[in-house]
Structures are given as C-alpha cells and as structure tokens.
A and B are shown apart, each in its own frame.
Chain A
Amino acid sequence: MTLCYQMDDKFEMIRLAVREFAESEIKPVAGELEENEEFSVSLTQQMGDIGLFGMTVPEAYGGQGLDYISYIIAVEEIARIDGSQAATLAAGNSLGIGPIDAFGLEAQKRKYLPDLCRGRTLIGFGLTEPNAGSDAGATSTTATRDGDSWIINGRKTLTTNADTPMTKGSIVQALTGTRPNGKVEYTCFIVENDTPGFTRNTLKRKLMWRGSNTAELFLNNCRVPDNAVLGNPGDGFKQMLATLDGGRLSIGAMGLGCAQGAYEAALRYSKERVQFGKPISRQQAISFKLADMALKIELARNLLYKACWLAENKRPYGKESAMAKLYCSEIAREVADEAVQVHGGYGLFKDYDVERFYRDQRLLQIGEGTSEVLRIVISRAIGC
C-alpha cells in the first residue's frame, strides 16, 4: 500500500506548535499592526526563535532541517491567524532564503543563511518591475561587467520584505547579455542595502497584508563584486522559475490557512448568533454555506499537500504547484466572502477577524503568478 492519508505524528506536532504560537503571540496584535501598517520586527524575530525561518534548510547552515510539508503546514497555521505575518514568513522562506539555499555558492550560504534562519535578517526577492509584472521577460534592469565587478541599473517594485529594519539586502534579477543563440541572459545578484546607489521606498496604503512590508527598489549605478552573483552568471531565468514553483506552494498555504481561519470564525459565529429563535447555523442556507466551505478546504488541502509531496520527492511538480496555488487562492476568496456573509453586518467591521481575511485573500490571486497566468501555466502543461 503506497497511498496513505495518515500523516506522521511529527506533522501534527509541527501544526500544534505553530498554532499555539500564532494564537498566543500573533492573534492579539495582528489587527492593530495591520491597521497601523506596521511591520513588526519583534514578531518576526519571535517567528525566528521558534524556527519558522529556514525550515527546509540543512541544520549545518542554521536551518531547521525539516521537509517541505512541515514548512507548508507552518505557513498555513500562521495564515490561519494573520495574512501579514504569513506573508513575511512565506516570502522570507521561499523568496529570500530559498534561492540562496538552492543556488547560492558555499560562501554565500555561510554568509547569509545563519542569520536569515534565526529570523534576525531578511532578504527581498525583486523580480517584478514597473513594466515587467506577469511578463517577467520584459525585465529591463541591467547589469554590466566592469573589471571584476558589476554595475546594476534599473528599478524593481512590489518587493516583499525589502525595506524593513531587519532587511540585509535583496536578490534582483537583471539582464546580463545575449546568448549566441540570440536569447537574452539573466543573472540574479544579491545586492546588500549599504551598496552605494541602492535605495528603497516602502509602498504604503495597501488594501491587505498591511503588516507586511512591500517596497520599490532603485538601483542607480550600483557596483557589486563578482561574488554578489547568486550561483552562476546566466542562471537567472532558471533560478527564477524554480523559485516561483516553490513559492507558489507557500502562497497556496496562505490561501488554505486564510480559508481555514475564515471558516472557523464563521462556524463559531453561526452557532452563537440567534435569529428567528435559533442559531443561524440551523438555517439550511447558512449550514450549506458552511458545508461548502469545509468541502473546498478539504479539496484544497489535499491538492496542496500532494504538490508538496511531489516537491519533497523530487518529482516534477510545476503543474501541481500552479494548480494548488490557483485553487487555494480562489477558495480563499470564496470562503472569506461567505464567511463575511455569515457574519452579516458585523463581518464588515474590524472587530471581527473575517474583515481582515476578506481583504487578505485578495492578493493571493495576484502575487507569484496571477490566476490568469497560472491558467496559462496549467494549460501549457496539459498540452494546449
């Protein structure tokens, strides 16, 4: 028998450990941080203290030595409480730590991973540009060789974790030439914040994830040494695609967690709220909504964990990861929307968590591949 739906006790303990932390440390402050658009250094460090950064990084580099499913469960549990902290965590792991762990040279791993894995520093991942969103091929940031260093010029935007008090730098993708076959070549660089010519600006007034940092990056004749190249020159495009495949699983986990949190809140409220002489959960119209939410969450979790299993077992998982991200983010919208409906007018107020879940889910259909782009990815994978 190889098909097995029984998860190891280890996963359950990971889940409960993260849940205990999120409920006791994040829940009480999440609403206020979000409302004030405040990135919390102390919560991020606390997440580091319990080992939420570098979950899949080997222990030798200060990581936790765990597997992909444990990581995804952790993101899901944080997102069940708060999208903003989950964003810091998911981007920190999948976009900051992930590429360094996967592609970094030994010296780069030794230099950056220990502090990143302790949750003492963060690194952003700047792919998106003002004129290159879904179309990453339109990247116009350039890097040119000058002696044994590189000069980078360009602008990145919508970069998570790139401008916090604990940010060490950002990984930026830049054009570095044209191959003999005529294809353009990309290279990723680790640009540290104190590099002359590198400035940042935090983007405020977001609809959601207001406790998470989003920044634009300006690279003005930034000179970086040769050893700032992440891995090998010319590997940038490959690195980016692989990073996104992994990152999509964590966005999926955020969708699943958001849906779970919204559903639990709706279920609880429906049992407490009495109208027409009985709890609204006993009105079939409401109980069917809750049944549909539970169904969608069950399906989403199965799909996401399967994609993680494929990733963990080194099998192709690009299609499944796109499917999982797409489905989890879409059911997050449906579930959060219905959760507000179950709360009636109160669900529109910040006193209830569903108000936040309703806003937080919206990014999930846009970041790391919009729903449209994911449908393109899936349709190509099935041979359209």
Chain B
Amino acid sequence: MNIVVTVKQVPDTQEVKIDPKTGTLIREGVPSIINPEDKNAIEAALRIKEDNDDVVVTVLSMGPPQAEIALREALAMGADRAILMSDRAFAGADTLATSYMLSRAIKKIKKFDLIICGRQAIDGDTAQVGPQLAEGLNLPQATYVEEIAIRQDVVTVKSRFDSVMRTIEMKMPALITVSSRVNRPRFKTMNGVLKAFRDKDVVTWTKDDLKLNPMRIGINGSPTWVRKTFVPSHSRAGLMIEKQPSESAADILDFMLEKSLLRF
C-alpha cells in the first residue's frame, strides 16, 4: 500500500508577531516548522504502516528550498521517501494553484492508495488544499478525520461535522484530511534523525519534472488576490446562548430583529 502525505512548512505562528502598521506577519527570526496538523497526517500514515505489511509512506511538499528540512523531519519520524516541489515558477501560488500542482506531482507518483493531508495550515488557514486536491484527482474524500481504519481496499473514517461524528467508508484510492484530534504525533528518535540524513533522500522536482499547464501554476494560476490584510480587533465580547436549539434560534432571531440586522 502506498500513502502520500502532503506537508506544508509554515512559520511557527506561536512565535509570530504582526506588524501593527502593515498588518502583515513579521517573519524575520521566526522558526519554520511542519504545519502541526501535517504532523498528525504523518503520524496517521506511520501508524497504518506499523499495522500493515508493505506500506510505503511518501511525504510531498511544495515550497522554497528551505522546506527540505520539514521533509527531513518527516523522514526522521519514519516516512520512507520525500519529494520537494520547488521552483521559482511556483511562487505566489494560492490554494487553487497549490492543489493543482500537488495533484500533478501525485499523478507523477502514480502509485497511491491513500492521500493524507492536514486539515488546515496555521498560516494560510483556509483548509482548502485537501478538498481541492481530491477534486483535482477525482477522488472520494473525507475531511476533519479523527479515526482511521483500513480493511483491504476500503478506508473507514470518523469525520467530525461540528458536534456530529459521521462514519464514512471509501474505496481507495481516496483522500482524507486529519485534524489534531486524530492522534498524538510521535517524538523523533535520535536514530531516526540520523537515518533521515544518512540513509534517506529528499528528491526535488522542478517545473520541468512535471507536466504542468503554465497558466495554472504560481501567480498565473492564482485567481485569489489579497487586497488587504488586517488584524481584527475584538472590542466587543460575543454573546453565548446555551439553550435548546429551538429556544436559542428564537433568541437569536429576537436579537437580530432588535439590532435591525434582519427585516421581515
């Protein structure tokens, strides 16, 4: 069985400060880390590998050359192979271009049964790449996954939808996005780190290694334009209504009418 895990390198937002004047992230001196839920995705793949014979885990990332270290870290956790898609032509990609490019790389990988993505990246925060990737590859998908079971060519997952859990069965190949609740990522072992550098490789693919439509990559393939970024100020506290759903709905309706937010 072949599992592909998509991994994004992100600035450690716990350490990020926002420039109050420009509203953008101050990135200098901020360490880069594996997107936390991508660590959960790696862990999920490694557990499947431990419980089944002949599982190969490939980690895939698109990013600048420095993203290699994130992939090495995934290798140190126990992934078998790593591919870094890196090219100046990929820069400025939005989620659509990112998922298109990832889909082309996965087509090139060819043999895959399960793709595991993190639910959401802590910098971009859209949670769009996983679902877009599934669409691009025409695969069944389940998002916000908290439990995974594999039986022959069927993957059964528990997927969270607000307070409701859904059980979804999919025939593989399939794609899932996992949240931090799915598992607790393992610590890297010392020997794992050694092997990640001594015995394993990070293969780099540029645009020439992939069949890409030039109009769908990088900035050209990115219809999203960020007009402005700002730090929202939370000057008013929210109001919590904790009643039965029907009573809550009535309260909310009253509130909205009172504030002239709704008119009949």
Which of B114-122, B188-196, B211-219, B239-247 contacts its partner? B188-196
Chain B residues with CB below 8 A from A241, complex form: none
- Judging by beta carbons under 8 Å apart, are A9 and B191 in contact? no
Contacting residues of chain B (186-233) with chain A, CB-CB under 8 angstroms: 187-194, 196-197
Chain A residues with CB below 8 A from B72, complex form: 9, 13
Chain B residues with CB below 8 A from A8, complex form: 197
CB-contact partner of B188 in A17, A55, A59, A65, under 8 A: A17
- Residue A381 at the chain B interface, CB threshold 8 Å: no
Contacting residues of chain B (54-77) with chain A, CB-CB under 8 angstroms: 69, 72-73, 76
- Judging by beta carbons under 8 Å apart, are A59 and B191 in contact? yes
- Residue A146 at the chain B interface, CB threshold 8 Å: no
- Judging by beta carbons under 8 Å apart, are A50 and B69 in contact? no
- Judging by beta carbons under 8 Å apart, are A20 and B190 in contact? no
A10 to B192, CA, bound (A): 11
Q: Closest residue of chain A to B192, judged by CB?
A: A51
Q: Tell me the interface secondary structure of chain A in the complex.
A: helix
- Residue A70 at the chain B interface, CB threshold 8 Å: yes
The total of interchain contacts (Cβ-Cβ below 8 angstroms) comes to 51
- Residue A66 at the chain B interface, CB threshold 8 Å: yes
Q: Closest residue of chain A to B197, judged by CB?
A: A10
Chain B residues with CB below 8 A from A64, complex form: 189-191, 194
- Judging by beta carbons under 8 Å apart, are A10 and B193 in contact? yes
- Judging by beta carbons under 8 Å apart, are B190 and A51 in contact? yes
Chain B residues with CB below 8 A from A13, complex form: 69, 72-73, 76, 188, 193, 196-197
- Judging by beta carbons under 8 Å apart, are B190 and A66 in contact? yes
Tell me the minimal C-beta distance from A334 to chain B in angstroms. 27
- Judging by beta carbons under 8 Å apart, are B194 and A65 in contact? yes
Tell me the minimal C-beta distance from B251 to chain A in angstroms. 41
Max chain B C-beta neighbours (<10 A), residue from A52, A66, A74: A66
- Residue A49 at the chain B interface, CB threshold 8 Å: yes
- Residue A112 at the chain B interface, CB threshold 8 Å: no
Q: Closest residue of chain A to B188, judged by CB?
A: A17
CB-contact partner of A50 in B73, B188, B196, B197, under 8 A: B188
Chain B residues with CB below 8 A from A20, complex form: 187-188
Contacting residues of chain B (155-209) with chain A, CB-CB under 8 angstroms: 187-194, 196-197
Chain A residues with CB below 8 A from B193, complex form: 10, 13-14, 17
Chain A interface residue count, CB cutoff 8 Å, equals 19
Q: Tell me the interface secondary structure of chain B in the complex.
A: helix
- Judging by beta carbons under 8 Å apart, are B69 and A9 in contact? yes
Tell me the minimal C-beta distance from A157 to chain B in angstroms. 32
On whether A74 and B190 interact (CB within 8 A), knowing A9-B197, A13-B76, the answer reads yes
- Judging by beta carbons under 8 Å apart, are B190 and A14 in contact? yes
A20 to B31, CA, bound (A): 14
CB-contact partner of A49 in B69, B189, B197, under 8 A: B189
Chain A residues with CB below 8 A from B73, complex form: 13
- Residue A21 at the chain B interface, CB threshold 8 Å: yes
Tell me the minimal C-beta distance from A298 to chain B in angstroms. 17
A65 to B191, CA, bound (A): 7
A292 to B190, CA, bound (A): 33
Mark A15-58 against chain B: 1 for CB-CB distance below 8 A, else 0. Answer: 00100110000000000000000000000000001111001000
- Judging by beta carbons under 8 Å apart, are A21 and B190 in contact? no
A51 to B187, CA, bound (A): 10
- Judging by beta carbons under 8 Å apart, are B197 and A52 in contact? no
Tell me the minimal C-beta distance from A137 to chain B in angstroms. 37
Tell me the minimal C-beta distance from A142 to chain B in angstroms. 40
Chain B residues with CB below 8 A from A50, complex form: 187-190
Tell me the minimal C-beta distance from A87 to chain B in angstroms. 19
Chain B residues with CB below 8 A from A52, complex form: 190
A49 to B187, CA, bound (A): 9
Max chain B C-beta neighbours (<10 A), residue from A17, A20, A59, A65: A17
Tell me the minimal C-beta distance from A264 to chain B in angstroms. 14
- Judging by beta carbons under 8 Å apart, are A21 and B197 in contact? no
Tell me the minimal C-beta distance from A340 to chain B in angstroms. 27
Q: Closest residue of chain B to A12, judged by CB?
A: B69
Chain B residues with CB below 8 A from A65, complex form: 191, 194
A13 to B193, CA, bound (A): 7
Q: Closest residue of chain B to A74, judged by CB?
A: B190
A279 to B211, CA, bound (A): 57
Q: Closest residue of chain B to A25, judged by CB?
A: B187
- Judging by beta carbons under 8 Å apart, are B197 and A17 in contact? no
7 A–B contacts, CB within 8 A, in A order? A10-B194, A20-B187, A51-B189, A52-B190, A64-B194, A65-B191, A65-B194
The 7 closest A-B pairs by CB, nearest first: A51-B190, A17-B188, A51-B189, A64-B190, A64-B191, A10-B197, A50-B187
Extra contacts, 4 of them, besides A17-B187, A51-B189 (Cβ < 8 A), are A9-B197, A13-B69, A66-B190, A66-B191
